[in-house]
Amino acid sequence: MPADPSQSSEQAVLCRTEGRVAILTINRPDKLNALNQAVESGMLEHLERLADDDGVGCLVVTGAGEKSFVAGADIGEFEGRSPLEQRQAMAFPRVFDVMADYPKPVVAMIGGFCLGGGCELASSCDLRIASSRARFGQPEINLGLLPGGGGTQRLPRLIGMGQAMKLILTGAMIDAAEALRIGLVDEVVEPEQLEARCLELASEIASKSPVALRLAKEATRAAERLPLGDGLVYERDLFALAFSTEDKVEGVQAFLAKRKPSWKGR
Ligand code: COA
């Protein structure tokens, strides 16, 4: 299975905007959007640029074509790699971590195969919306491997230890209904409604105060790593920090004056 080193990071990930939503599309449909170096670099370049773009309030991440979201890491790139080369290929910052800690919300739009690194990429997003045709799994065990994009850590936090173990140890694929049942995805819609639903949800999120979104995401993410007591202290501090923003003043005044708020993002 040949890798595709000729593909540039520019071609590997496409970006378009709809209103305040940026849509990043991993663009290797002939390889089921497998994550190669060009895709990872392309994702990181777009994420870095969009973080500072005040016109963008929410991101949607998806894969090109109807068949696949992302079918995992590019297995072709594994062949013949030394451990040191593999370690370098997994050097920080990694796209999974950047998305999880990203200052803006990220929605995964999952139309098809969501496997291995694809499932890890989706797990790093804040919300996962799937087509009823989507299929999920962590099949690395079938290659004599284990998840390497955060799956062993994020999946148990997302769906619980037992369900995560089941996916990771069996490598089995599950359908969208089962993914919804175990909490791996947040909504399942018919394939023809997937894009509209994701854009509707992302647009609604993007209409909120950017600074409040940032603090809310940061506080909620902290639940993954902090014990409850520490997390509650952290939440209190970020809540109090929100009192320093113009958007808090505007939000409260707008409510009391029974008008729509006009956010400044400050
Ligand atoms: N890495 C590199 N190439 C991949 C890939 C991956 N993870 N997943 C799919 N592809 C490529 C296939 O090699 C094939 O390329 P080719 O046309 O040049 O031969 C193309 O994408 C289409 O895939 P194909 O296997 O023919 O489609 P399918 O519908 O028969 O099967 C899957 C789909 C997803 C079941 C199958 O592609 C698969 O098992 N992929 C690997 C999934 C995986 O193990 N991911 C974890 C990697 S760590």
84 and 170 housed in the same domain: yes
pLDDT at 10: 84
Q: Which of 190, 206, 222 is the last residue in one of the domains?
A: 206
Q: Does residue 167 carry a pLDDT above 50?
A: yes
Question: What is the distance between the alpha carbons of residues 58 and 48, in angstroms, rounded to a whole number?
Answer: 14
Residue with the smallest CA separation from ligand 1 atom 16 is 31
Which residue among 32, 81, 141, 146 is best mutated to probe the pocket of ligand 1, counting the most ligand atoms within 8 A of its Cβ?
Answer: 32
Q: Is 57 in the pocket of ligand 1 (CB under 6 A)?
A: no
Please report which confidence band the pLDDT of residue 85 belongs to, taking 50, 70 and 90 as the band edges.
Answer: very high
131 and 235 housed in the same domain: no
242 and 166 housed in the same domain: no
Active site residue 66: no
| 128 within a domain of the structure (yes/no) | yes
Task: Decide: helix, strand or coil at residue 143.
Answer: helix
Active site residue 140: yes
Q: Is 140 in the pocket of ligand 1 (CB under 6 A)?
A: yes
pLDDT at 180: 98
pLDDT at 6: 45
The residue from 77, 140, 195, 235 that is catalytic is 140
224: domain CATH number is 1.10.12.10
pLDDT digits (tens, 9 = 90+) for 24-35: 999 999 999 999
Q: Which region holds residue 100: left if phi is over 0, alpha if psi is between -120 and 50, else beta?
A: alpha
Q: Does residue 7 carry a pLDDT above 80?
A: no
Please report which confidence band the pLDDT of residue 98 belongs to, taking 50, 70 and 90 as the band edges.
Answer: very high
Ligand 1 center from residue 230 Cα (angstroms): 43
Question: What is the distance between the alpha carbons of residues 150 and 125, in angstroms, rounded to a whole number?
Answer: 12
| 266 within a domain of the structure (yes/no) | no
Q: Name the residue type at position 136.
A: F
77 within 8 A of 37, measured Cβ to Cβ: yes
Q: Name the residue type at position 197.
A: R
Ligand 1 center from residue 96 Cα (angstroms): 21
| 2 within a domain of the structure (yes/no) | no
How many CB atoms lie under 10 A from the CB of residue 109?
Answer: 27
| 84 within a domain of the structure (yes/no) | yes
| 22 within a domain of the structure (yes/no) | yes
Please report which confidence band the pLDDT of residue 4 belongs to, taking 50, 70 and 90 as the band edges.
Answer: low
pLDDT at 9: 79
Question: What is the distance between the alpha carbons of residues 41 and 227, in angstroms, rounded to a whole number?
Answer: 34
pLDDT at 12: 96
Question: What is the distance between the alpha carbons of residues 152 and 186, in angstroms, rounded to a whole number?
Answer: 20
The residue from 77, 120, 195, 235 that is catalytic is 120
| 265 within a domain of the structure (yes/no) | no
* DSSP letters for 55-67: T--EEEEEESSSS
195: domain CATH number is 3.90.226.10
Please report which confidence band the pLDDT of residue 48 belongs to, taking 50, 70 and 90 as the band edges.
Answer: very high
23 and 109 housed in the same domain: yes
pLDDT at 193: 98
Split into its structural domains, the chain has a count of 2
Residues of the domain holding 238: 210-256
pLDDT at 266: 94
What is the arithmetic mean of pLDDT over 137-159? 98
Instruction: Give the number of C-alpha atoms closer than 13 A to the C-alpha of residue 49, restricted to the C-beta side.
Output: 10
Q: Which of 7-16, 20-29, 150-159 has the lowest mean pLDDT?
A: 7-16
